[in-house]
Chains A and B, each alone.
Chain A
Amino acid sequence: MHTGYEAHVSAPQQNTGSSLMKSLLYLPIMVAIVIAGAFVTGQFQYPILSLVIFLPIVGGAAVLLIPRSNEAMVKWTSLILSVIVFLVSLPLFTNFDKTTAKMQFVEKCAWIPAFNINYSLGVDGISVLFVLLSGLLTILCVTVSWNAITDKVKEFYGSLLLLEGAMIGVFCSLDLFLFYIFWEAMLIPMFILIGVWGGPKRVYAAIKFFLYTLVGSLLMLVGIIVLYYHTGHSFDVLKMMQTDYPYSLQVILFWAFFSAFAVKVPMFPVHTWLPDAHTEAPTAGSVILAGILIKMGAYGFLRFNMPFFPEATVEMAPAMMVLSVIAIIYGAVICLGQKDLKRLIAYSSVSHMGFVTLGMFALNFQGIQGGIMQMVNHGITTGALFLCIGMVYERTHTRVIADYGGAASQLPVFSAMFMIFTLSAIGLPGTNGFVGEFLILIGGFTASKLLGILASTGVIIGAGYMLWLYQNVFFVEVNPKLTGIGDINEREILTLLPLVILVFWIGFYPNSFLGFMDVSVQGLIDRINTANNLQITQHVGAILK
């Protein structure tokens, strides 16, 4: 350890005033970027999606080339890059046409002609919000890791940026081959993030994460190739969405794709990698995992399973809903017994993702819309909770709930922030969580009363464990171990602030986000209905009753 250098770097960290001064110095650069971004968005047509995907990938590679000694430059480059990426992606929000279910911002060119593979990108109402969310969460991951990561700094930020590019690629791909490339390529940086900078059992968690995901993905690869031959030698997603495959093929392929997506979500029997990965990953890794990565599974169901295999989807929907409800209740009950902060939030993810899949497989408008909304909400809320835990862990170096207590008097600002996210996780009206869960439960009840009621108990248990957690960490008598730790600083407040805003924005005016998906969700439901030629809700209901 080069102690002299370390001391030099860590000095401003204790003095919040000087760190603020330091960030003010960079303000002009930021302003310049904002102006440049606004200028570009207003004036020119540019391939937004390619830029959003490859800016972080190229940037991540560039970060790896910065000399190791220059940590400040690594951090600032990554921060500026991630901010630029987010700004570049903003036209997706402002210029998105909410009146069409068609793909937008489409880019297409031939890539591997021998296999009729195209480099084909585009977003619709189902995917656009996740592109934006990925951009936002990556910025927050950079800022929250500012002082937490001291070892192999440039590799960390490089991996993070590479991961961002691959994740956005997954959401934008309209060619199954391209999708698969991003889907698997993403594993490499995530594996490294968990395994190198994680907690004590990080290696075990990283391998487990990698193997679980890989088995599922490879089975999907076989499915993709079979689908390719049945679509007339094409990987075109849009073409597949309009092809009607024979029913027996649909069922087999449904399970092939299910194996990949269910592991990612994770659905009930294959969820066991998640608590380990979430718990052992560094804060940024947990945030990306919870915020984006596990959403890809649910997104995969919506983008591929449902429109490709509509008849199989209707047939399997009851089974999927039952699995979802098991995940909701099981995840929630397990949470009640957790001693570790991160593990508790990890299991709560299992429960919350159960809501998401429940809503989606209810196969009605409210359910699917609620499912997508809840994915965004879960990304915001759980992402924020992991950020919070990371911040407090930096101060106390413990994640055991029993080591906390009375933190509200020590960290007043932090405890207020944490309260907001706790309430959002519970689904209190006025926060984003309420909107998603409410829509899902409407959808769930429409499809099956019994499952709707069972799922509601998950909400109640959810309130139980989150409030119990909050009480034990922030109230009761002050734990002596907590004395002398400082409240969160400006950098950390700024990290959480965008998420606080989003919690209330979605909570009070969800239409500015729900509006994005209205038409696309309707298009998806129409596809399922016309393929099945009957009213889905009745059908599913009949099977369950």
Chain B
Amino acid sequence: MNIPFPNLIPVIPEIIITTFASILLLVELFVKRKAVLGYIAIIAAAAAFYALFCTDCLGVTFSDMFINDDYSRYFKVIFLINVVLTVLISLRYIQKEDAEYGEYYSLILFATAGMMLMASAKDFIILYLGLELMALSTYILAGIKKHDIKSNEAAIKYMLLGAFSSSLLLFGISLLYGITASTNIYDIGKFIISAKFTPVLMVSMILITVGFAFKIAAAPFHMWTPDVYEGAPTSVTAFMSVGPKAAGFAVMGRVFYYAFNGLQLEWTPILIGLCILTMAVGNIVALSQTNIKRMLAYSSIAHAGYAMLGVIAGTVEGQNAMITYLIIYAFMNIGAFGIVILLNKGEQISDYCGLSKSHPLIAAVMLVFMFSLTGIPPTAGFIGKFNIFAAAINAGFTWVVVIAVIFSAISAFYYLRVVMNMYMKTSEEDSLITTSPSLGIALFLSVLAVLVIGILPSFVII
């Protein structure tokens, strides 16, 4: 038997990330200052970024199972941004929280390698491998505060529900294999277009949708999100709220556009239902939260709803808008979590009272993130929403967009409540902060990106 050696060039970014992740595990034994590991992780992300854009690494490999195209490349940008920002906000924070284990940065890189595989999957096997690599790493990350009971609870909950959803996904994939005799996404697509519609096909599609919906935290599969986001260390929450969600959208886009393109009439109403429900649950439940991490958890559910409009549109324009939206979301959401980390006592929304008096600059930065999450110009959040609404309207889903804007208006209330507390209320005690240069850089980068993209969106609108 003669198995040819696969062409490794398209996988170079993944190889870089995985190698660095493994090196980190070894280096960790020898260094005392764990922060060094963080810097190595950033170097890894930078090297992968260089490999993605400065070398000619587009292509298909591993017997047509792995594809590195523009679609996956832009998703990988999101994952790498996610790594850099997460590491920057983590450096000081995990020290303070007593969670500074060497594996931390290594797990972040492994999870990222999983996400990158997912974005590049041309085959359900690779997709599932990537998904599990990502999921297992994030389960551990969620519980990395070993002695904190809430963190433990988060990890267990996440793992149990995650395993459940993975099995549903796997079941769906196996049914699909039974019908089409293939695990290749594109081959399945060709088969389905010419095949007759059967109930089994529908069942397998629904099971796969459920698996993805769990990863992007779409209602009604969102139940784990608030608890996990609240319990996990804040830096991990920031990481989880962007990375796995974007990876979920990456596979969702690819599977629905290429494997199920023959079933568009069937999956569009399902996704519209999910989308509306997700926006409704996210935005309405967020209104009554008093803990800002829970509030941001529900807000991230709501944002998954908006981003889903890009999939629903079913056009290349929609895909691009979704990627743009997720890039912007990465900056504003990690930025907001960065502020939560910055405050010594910042978990409750009432902790933000009088922040503009004691720390005007921090309050101003938070104000930018909050208005951006609401989607008010001239911030990037508006550009993201505009772009995705435009794509959905062009595809003929104006009525869904009308519902989305109404929920978007509702969302203003809970974001504004943070602004209100910071600027319009006073508190007896000044809030204390723990600054560090790396956190400062992360916040500076995020706020700069949010404002620059808001004013000159040509950078991200493809």
Report A's interface with B, CB cutoff 8 A: 111-115, 152, 155, 177, 180-181, 184-185, 187-188, 191-192, 195-196, 202-203, 206-207, 210-211, 214-215, 218-219, 221-222, 225-226, 228-229
Chain A residues with CB under 8 Å of B408's CB are: 218
Chain A residue numbers with a CB within 8 Å of B270 are: none
Those 6 A-B pairs whose CB atoms lie nearest each other, nearest first: A218-B405, A181-B377, A215-B409, A195-B424, A114-B461, A225-B393
Contact B409 A218 (CB under 8 A): yes
Specify the chain A residue showing the minimal Cβ separation from B389: A225
Please state if A112 and B461 are interface contacts (CB–CB under 8 Å): yes
CB under 8 Å from chain A, chain B span 401-435: 401-402, 405-406, 408-409, 412-413, 416, 419-420, 423-425
A112 touches B457 (CB 8 A): yes
CB atoms of A207 and B402 under 8 A apart: no
Query: B218-233 interface mask toward A, CB cutoff 8 Å, 1 = contact, 0 = none?
Result: 0000000000000000
Q: Separation in Å of the A288 CB from the closest CB of chain B?
A: 18
- Could you show 15 A-B contacts with beta carbons less than 8 Å apart? A111-B458, A114-B458, A114-B461, A181-B382, A188-B371, A188-B376, A196-B424, A206-B424, A207-B420, A210-B412, A211-B413, A218-B405, A218-B409, A221-B389, A225-B401
A222 contact set on B, CB distance < 8 A? 389, 393, 398, 401-402, 405
Contact call A219/B390, Cβ cutoff below 8 A:
no
B421-462 interface code vs A (CB 8 A; 1 in, 0 out): 001110000000000000000000000000000000110011
Query: A residues within 8 A CB of B390?
Result: 115, 225, 228
- Most chain A beta-carbon contacts within 10 A, residue among B377, B425, B457, B461: B377
Residues of B contacting A152 in the complex (Cβ-Cβ under 8 angstroms): 356-357
Bound together, the chains give a CA A521 to CA B87 distance in angstroms of: 60
Among A192, A210, A226, find the residue whose CB has the most chain B CB atoms closer than 10 A. Answer: A210
Contact status A196-B423, CB under 8 Å: yes
CB contacts (< 8 Å) of A229 on chain B: these are: 393-394
State the CA gap A16–B406 with chains docked (Å).
Answer: 53
**A177 vs B229: C-alpha distance when bound (angstroms):** 36
User: Which A residues touch B425, using CB under 8 A?
Assistant: 203
Taking beta carbons and an 8 Å cutoff, which residues of B are in contact with A?
Answer: 356-357, 360, 371, 376-378, 382, 386, 389-390, 393-394, 398, 401-402, 405-406, 408-409, 412-413, 416, 419-420, 423-425, 457-458, 461-462
Whether A218 lies near B406 (C-beta < 8 A) is: yes
A226 to B393, CA, bound (A): 7
> What distance in Å separates the Cβ of A224 from its nearest Cβ neighbour in chain B?
9
Give the chain A neighbours of B409 by CB distance below 8 A: 211, 214-215, 218
Q: Is the CB of A181 within 8 A of B378?
A: yes
Q: Are B416 and A210 in contact (CB under 8 A)?
A: yes
**Nearest-Cβ distance from residue B359 to partner chain A, whole angstroms:** 13
Complex CA gap A211/B405 in Å reads 12
Chain B residues whose CB sits within 8 angstroms of the CB of A219 once the complex forms = 402, 405
Q: Complex: how many Å from CA A214 to CA B385? A: 14
Are A191 and B416 within 8 A (Cβ)? yes
Closest to B462 in A: A114
Max chain B C-beta neighbours (<10 A), residue from A185, A207, A222: A222
What CA separation (Å) do A192 and B394 show in the bound complex? 35
| The one of B389, B424, B461 that contacts A203, using a Cβ cutoff of 8 Å | B424
B420 surroundings in chain A (CB, below 8 A): 195, 203, 206-207
**With A and B bound together, what is the CA distance between A210 and B411 in angstroms?**
12
How far apart are the CA atoms of A187 and B402 in the complex, in Å?
21
Closest A residue by C-beta to B368: A188
- Complex Cα distance A192/B360, Å? 14
Min CB gap B394→A, angstroms: 6
Q: How far is the CB of B462 from chain A (nearest CB, A)?
A: 7
In the complex, A181 Cα to B382 Cα: how many Å? Answer: 9
CB contacts (< 8 Å) of A203 on chain B: these are 420, 424-425
- Would you give the shortest CB distance from A346 to chain B, in whole angstroms? 21
- Chain B's closest residue to A197 (CB) is B424
Residues on the B chain within 8 Å of A221, using CB: 386, 389, 405
Cα–Cα, bound, A192→B357 (Å):
14
Q: Which residues of B contact A210 (CB under 8 A)?
A: 412, 416
Given A181-B377, A211-B409, A228-B390: 11 more A-B contacts, CB < 8 Å: A114-B462, A155-B356, A188-B376, A191-B419, A192-B423, A207-B416, A207-B420, A214-B409, A218-B405, A221-B389, A222-B401
Nearest chain A residue, comparing its CB with the CB of B411:
A214
Provide the bound-state CA to CA distance between A177 and B458, in Å: 14
With both chains docked as a complex, state the minimum distance between the C-beta of A374 and any C-beta of chain B, in angstroms.
Answer: 30
Taking the closest CB of chain A, its distance from the CB of B86, in whole angstroms, is 28
Query: In the docked arrangement, what's the CA distance between A125 and B371, Å?
Result: 34
The residue on B at minimum CB distance from A180 is: B377
Please tell me if the beta carbons of A211 and B412 are within 8 angstroms of each other in the complex: yes
User: Distance (Å) between the CB of B389 and the closest chain A CB?
Assistant: 6
Chain B residues lying within 8 Å of A192, measured Cβ to Cβ, are: 423
Q: Which residue of A is nearest B376, CB measured?
A: A184
Taken together as a complex, chains A and B put the C-alpha atoms of A229 and B457 apart, in Å, by 20
Please give the distance in Å from B453's CB to the nearest CB on chain A. Answer: 11
In Å, the complex CA distance between A111 and B383 comes to 13
- Contact between B406 and A226, CB atoms less than 8 A apart: no
B406: contacting residue among A111, A207, A215, A225, CB under 8 A: A215
**A412 to B393, alpha carbons, bound, how many Å?**
61
Residues of A within 8 A of B424 (CB): 195-196, 202-203, 206
| Distance, CA A112 to CA B457, complexed state (A) | 7
Distance of A480 from chain B, by nearest CB (Å): 34
Quick check: B412 and A214 within 8 Å, CB to CB?
yes
How distant is the Cα of A152 from the Cα of B382 in the complex, in angstroms?
28
- What residues on B are CB-neighbors of A115 within 8 Å? 390, 461
Choose from A177, A187, A188, A207 the contact partner of B413 (Cβ within 8 Å): A207
A184 close to B386 (CB less than 8 A)? no
Contact residues in B for A187 (Cβ distance below 8 Å):
376
B405 proximity list for chain A (CB < 8 A): 218-219, 221-222
The complex places the Cα of A206 from the Cα of B416 at a distance, in Å, of 10
CA distance A202 to B426 in the complex (A): 14
B401 cross-chain contacts in A, Cβ below 8 A: 222, 225
